Structure 1
């Protein structure tokens, strides 16, 4: 599989057919600084983000089924369902998918999973697919804007007031300025980061809001967390890859 490593403003408009093809589209996100905050702890901090690659849409049920071969959705009989984001996937499910997608694509897997099935080591030098960090996700979501959202919510997101009580096909709303769709609404998206190890242990962060979320929960800075084995019908994920010049310096074990 070859990846289209170009800047978002050079990409063609999103084509759902390409998301199922052998050339999985990725947008190159420029480096930048991100201001993060934790409203619960009333803290704020800044993180530097190197250039990286991010998929323009969340992983679809069709792609997930093709790579993992779960066949749990019956998508062969429902093309619309195949184009919806995969849901009911845990953080650990997403990690395993990233590795499977990397192997299928001829890349080095980013994650090593321990014998307990829960300990995960991240190889910062690997070129395979991975989950974005929280800082990367927020940087990509805002796409150079500085507001709570990058546009009018009804135009950019599926949420409680307009989704009709169900997940929707990817790419159905307007993208952000960097060509990324569904960064807000449709499904929450798992990130790599631990939320607060001292208080919540292994809980991982997810971002973005969902089809079931009220408007106030669909914002670039909203943070949620849950156990890495947690699954629910409005939580999915999006693929990232490191650029060679921005690879992480070492491995991280969590």
Structure 2
């Protein structure tokens, strides 16, 4: 009897689904892409016989949808809010006319967390922007698969996707200088390491399966996770499941940050 209303509502819902934005640019020009909710296998894929216990055991993780910045935070974006640029690679140390589009580096985990707090206050938000959890980062890196790298299995393709020891000329490069992964996210491999929210644990025993950060507990050590490798690292550090870690006060010209949004930026 009311089929015509049902069809009309279905059509409206379909139109809304099509029109739902997949990208968002905030007030300081930081671009984000929406990552759909889903489930993936986190940790080393045993078929590759690499990675060791620190990437084991592999385990399923189910995540809610979230937004992730297309690029690491740039020097320009960092300076806009902090009025400082701690980076080593600037001025005459870069090949470009200026370093505004280079990733900010020499940022400790504490600095990264302070920047998150600052951007939330700047945009009038509360716990809106965040560092990615380790699970969120790997979910994006694996991009719907479980391959060694974000694009596939062969290191022969790395030059197209990564700023690393063979392509970097011993310095960072402007973000977006290489191809994005299948989700449209750039610089996941190399350029600068990216801090995650999580404490570092020696394996995944007891790790959460909902994408939340692993923080504290009896086994927690005084280290924080960083992911993705840098302009200095070899190809093994660029694998999707590779885990780096450092003390939270560690800052080097290899380490920067990327942000996520765990909410609806259009509300």
Tell me which interval the TM-score lies in, with the shorter structure as reference length.
Answer: 0.7 to 0.9
Counterpart in the other structure of 1:247: none
Secondary structure of 1:138 counterpart: helix
Higher strand share: 1
Question: For 2:235 and 2:184, how far apart are their aligned partners in 1?
Answer: 22
Matches within 5 A, 1:101-180: 101-108=119-126, 110=127, 128-151=128-151, 152-180=157-185
Q: CA deviation at 1:24?
A: 2.6
Counterpart in the other structure of 1:90: 108
Question: For 1:31 and 1:62, how far apart are their aligned partners in 2?
Answer: 31
1:164-193 C-alpha deviation (Å, 9 max, x unpaired):
000111001001111100011111111111
The change in CA–CA distance for 1:228 and 1:73 in structure 2 (over 3 A counts) is closer
Which structure 2 segments of 5+ residues have no match?
1-19, 45-51, 152-156, 202-215
The change in CA–CA distance for 1:79 and 1:32 in structure 2 (over 3 A counts) is farther
The answer to whether residue 61 in structure 2 is matched with residue 47 in structure 1 is: yes
Q: CA deviation at 1:236?
A: 0.8
Counterpart in the other structure of 1:232: 252
User: Which of these residues, 26, 34, 42, is aligned with residue 36 of structure 1?
Assistant: 42
Question: For 1:186 and 1:71, how far apart are their aligned partners in 2?
Answer: 17
Secondary structure of 2:43 counterpart: strand
Q: CA deviation at 1:146?
A: 2.4
Secondary structure of 1:185 counterpart: coil
The answer to whether residue 31 in structure 2 is matched with residue 25 in structure 1 is: yes
CA contact (8 A) 1:158 1:168 kept: yes
CA contact (8 A) 1:34 1:135 kept: no
Deviation >4 Å, runs of 4+:
71-79, 197-200
Secondary structure of 2:39 counterpart: strand
Which structure 1 segments of 5+ residues have no match?
12-17, 111-127, 245-254
1:208-244 C-alpha deviation (Å, 9 max, x unpaired):
1110001121111100111111111111110101035
User: Which of these residues, 21, 46, 49, is aligned with residue 6 of structure 1?
Assistant: 21
TM-score under structure 2 normalisation?
0.73
TM-score under structure 1 normalisation?
0.76
Secondary structure of 2:184 counterpart: coil
